[in-house]
Amino acid sequence: MSSNERSFTLTDNSSGESWELPVMHGTLGPDVIDVRKLYAQTGCFTYDPGFTSTGSCESKITFIDGDNGVLLYRGYPIEQLAEKSDFMEVCYLLLYGELPTADQKAKFEHDITYHTMIHEQMNTFLRGFRRDAHPMAVMCGMVGALSAFYHDSTDIADPKHRMVSSYRMIAKMPTIAALAYKYNLGQPYVYPKNKLRYAENFLHMMFSNPCEEYEIDPVLARAMDVILILHADHEQNASTSTVRLSGSSGANPFACISAGIASLWGPAHGGANEAVLNMLEEIGDKSNVGTFVEKAKDKDDSFRLMGFGHRVYKNFDPRSRVMRTQCHKVLDALGVHDEPLLEIALELEKIALEDEYFIEKKLYPNVDFYSGIIFKAMGIPTTMFTALFAVARTVGWIAQWNEMIEDPSQKIGRPRQLFTGAEQRDYVDVGQR
């Protein structure tokens, strides 16, 4: 971060008073106007619901150029990472800022692998949920509950504690997600296997059972690894901002990540991959696509095409390009060519991409549009989709949380408001109302 001569002058037209607002520059992306002293100087707050023009923090982790469809983790383009790297390496990169050497990578992978089991008593805790609980409800509860099981890593002032809890969450998240799934199915839980790599292990815990060995298809394992890479971090989105805001009060990391999971659950965010599949099922047939596209364009209809549009990407979502390729690889590997939902999805993609409304509003298929189709083809139930997103995003949340704790300018997040309610008035006794 640097500042140079550029500044803005803010003038109060009623009094004629002026203030200089300094400008800060990052390495990439728009400059920001520093308004930290604005209230002290002018007595006014800024107003920006949805934070469409607000930078909430300084960060060195992830950069997005939404107009040009660029996504960089620590400077590396997502396309290169998806093609050449693997999820463990990306986790290391996000956490430590650099790609690991071969030795660092091997040690990191070993350390994560040896934290994948969860405290056995957590199984008892899990049984408190109804069988039909949504996996995201289970994830919120189980991850929050980690703070009750791992007291030895919740001192946020201690960098070693922070790293141990970070490793624990990256390692245990697939175990917890798979547990939630098995619990719902009524099948016995499958313990992690240390000889398997991260994505393979996840597939193993999801799909094997004590009666039958699950053969891991390398195409599916690679697709899962790529999906994890693509979802690993995404700058200051709703759930990441939730993690930062929760953490800014000094809350323990398990509680903060649980808050992030809750935020991710919503259909406007991570819940969109589940919503895409529900929408495709509602459309029902390729011939109905046009009607649904018209509904999405109708101002008087609240229906939106799930999996289309993005707050930041106004050209294309670079993740969805990679995901589209993976989608076709998975469908080929599984020999799925006549999946009706896929046909509907492709028809929808075609019509929406050619439609004036979607072109004008820059609404393109986002990452959730394709991930839902891949998960469906892999045999993952719809309600698990967002849980998978949470598994992948955990490393991003943790890297951002660590960065915030280490930032010397960090303060508790405390936005202000424009109050439009009743002015002060006197209490009226109940008999006189």
Catalytic residues: 310, 368
Question: What is the number of helices (H) and of strands (E) in the chain?
Answer: 18, 6
Q: Is 311 in the site for ligand CMC (CB under 6 A)?
A: yes
Phi, psi of 18 (to 5 degrees): -125, 150
Q: Could you tell me which stretch among 61-69, 76-84, 217-225, 305-313 binds ligand CMC (CB under 6 A)?
A: 305-313
CA–CA distance, 202 with 221 (Å, rounded to integer): 9
Question: Cα torsion for 377, 381, 386, 390, to the nearest 10°?
Answer: -90
Q: Does 272 bind ligand CMC (CB under 6 A)?
A: yes
**Among residues 117, 268, 353, 359, the one that binds ligand CMC under rule CB under 6 A:** 268
Q: What single-letter DSSP state applies at residue 423?
A: P
**Nearest distance, CB of residue 366 and ligand CMC, angstroms:** 4
Contact between 305 and ligand CMC per CB under 6 A: yes
310 part of the interface to ligand CMC, by CB under 6 A: yes
CB 156 within 8 A of CB 250: yes
Locate 164 and state its tokens: 């141990």
Minimum distance from residue 350 beta carbon to ligand CMC (Å): 16
Residue closest to ligand CMC (Cβ): 309
Among 100, 260, 309, 318, binds ligand CMC (CB under 6 A): 309
Q: Which among 301-309, 327-335, 396-404, 417-425 is the span making contact with ligand CMC, rule CB under 6 A?
A: 301-309
Largest CA distance in the chain: 80
Q: Is 344 exposed, middle or buried (0-12, 13-18, 19+ CB in 10 A)?
A: buried
Helix or strand or coil: residue 116?
Answer: coil
Q: Residue 313 CB, nearest distance to ligand CMC (Å)?
A: 8
Closer residue to ligand CMC, CB minimum distance, 118 or 230:
230
- Using CB under 6 A as the binding rule, whether residue 308 contacts ligand CMC is answered as yes
Q: What is the nearest approach in angstroms of ligand CMC to the Cβ of residue 300?
A: 12
Nearer to ligand CMC, 263 or 402 (CB): 263
Q: Does 366 bind ligand CMC (CB under 6 A)?
A: yes
Q: CB of 272: closest distance to ligand CMC in angstroms?
A: 3
Q: What are phi and psi of 302, to 5 degrees?
A: -80, -5
Q: Which is nearer to ligand CMC, 208 or 315 (CB)?
A: 315
Among 74, 182, 269, 393, binds ligand CMC (CB under 6 A): 269
Report the interhelical angle of 159-185 vs 198-207 (nearest 10°): 30
Q: Whose Cβ is closer to ligand CMC: residue 145's or residue 289's?
A: 289
Alpha-helical (H) ranges within 232-317 are 238-247, 253-264, 272-283, 289-297
User: Is 363 an interacting residue with respect to ligand CMC (CB under 6 A)?
Assistant: yes
- The rounded Cα 246 to chain-centroid distance in angstroms is 16
367 binds ligand CMC (CB under 6 A): yes
Please state the closest distance from residue 91 (CB atom) to ligand CMC, in A. Answer: 19
Shortest gap between Cβ of 97 and ligand CMC (angstroms)? 23
Rounded to whole angstroms, the Cα distance separating 310 from 59 reads 21
Residue 237 in the binding site for ligand CMC (CB under 6 A): yes
Q: Name residues whose C-beta falls within 8 Å of residue 265's C-beta, 6 or more positions apart in sequence.
A: 136, 140, 271, 386
**Cα angle value 378/380/382 (rounded, 5°):** 130
Closest contact distance (angstroms) between CB of 172 and ligand CMC is: 23
DSSP per residue, 131-176: TT--HHHHHHHHHHHHHHH-GGG--TT-HHHHHHHHHHHHHHHHHH
Q: Which is nearer to ligand CMC, 22 or 29 (CB)?
A: 29
Enumerate residues 175-234 that contact ligand CMC by CB under 6 A: 234
Q: Give the strands of the sheet with 32-33, arranged side by side.
A: 7-11, 18-24, 32-33
Both tokens of residue 433?
């109302």
Identify which range of 64-72, 123-131, 263-271, 379-387 contacts ligand CMC by CB under 6 A: 263-271
Please answer whether residues 260 and 397 qualify as being in contact, where contact means their C-beta atoms are separated by less than 8 angstroms.
yes
- The SS3 assignment for 41 reads helix
Residue 82 or 221: the one with the smaller Cβ distance to ligand CMC is: 82
Using the rule CB under 6 A, give the single segment among 106-114, 163-171, 308-316, 373-381 that binds ligand CMC: 308-316
Shortest spacing between CB 237 and ligand CMC, in angstroms: 5
Binding span for ligand CMC by CB under 6 A among 89-97, 146-154, 161-169, 361-369: 361-369
- Site for ligand CMC contains 243 (CB under 6 A): no
Does residue 420 contact residue 426 with C-beta atoms inside 8 Å?
no
Kindly state whether residue 296 participates in binding ligand CMC, applying the rule CB under 6 A. yes
Where does this chain bind ligand CMC (CB under 6 A)?
A: 234, 237, 268-270, 272, 296, 304-311, 361, 363, 366-368
